[in-house]
Amino acid sequence: MSNTDLHKTSSIDQCKIIDFGKHHHPNGNLSVAENRDLVPFDIKRVFYIYDVPGGEERGGHSHKSLQQVIIAISGAFDVLLDDGVNQRNVTLNRPYLGLLVTPGVWSKEHNFSSGSVCLVLASDHYDESDYVRNYDEFKLLTSNKPLNKHT
């Protein structure tokens, strides 16, 4: 199966919340994300988004093969997931919870609270050719999916 075929088989149901747990200590809490433990891939890239102006959005793309875990390290924001048939909005507002976003799923981060920080763990290095940034192209790649509406 080619990478673009993942758009035909992807589902927002494959995207899930990962609970990293919280190790409580009187001097501060600790959460751990490790390769192939709770994170289902080897982490090859880490980046974070911050100082997002009010009303702005980030993301707005899908990936052909890259997987991501998105974490609200500080503050809160919503992630819109779209598999071409179904959509779901997920609110991230706890630093010990991450959202696994699988290949072929369009994701868009929005509704950022003031001072929020979005941390992303990625399964590979940056590669522009892995991105689908045009929503019409994404819809074309996801066409002919079974119309099992998400409830």
Tens-digit pLDDT string for the chain (151 aa): 455 568 888 999 999 999 999 999 999 999 999 888 899 999 999 999 999 999 999 999 999 999 999 999 999 999 999 999 999 999 999 999 999 999 999 999 999 999 999 999 999 999 999 999 999 999 999 987 665 554 4
Q: Which pLDDT value is given to residue 148?
A: 54
Is residue 61 part of the annotated active site? The answer reads yes
Catalytic residue, chosen from 61, 110, 125, 150, is 61
Look at the block and give the residue holding tokens 């179904």: 86
> Which CATH number describes the domain made up of 3-141?
2.60.120.10
Residues 62, 83: Cα–Cα separation, whole Å: 9
Is the entire prediction scored with pTM above 0.95? no
Q: How far apart are CA 78 and CA 64, in angstroms?
A: 22
**14 to each of 57, 81, 101, 134, how far by Cα in Å?**
23, 11, 8, 22
Amino acid 37: pLDDT:
87
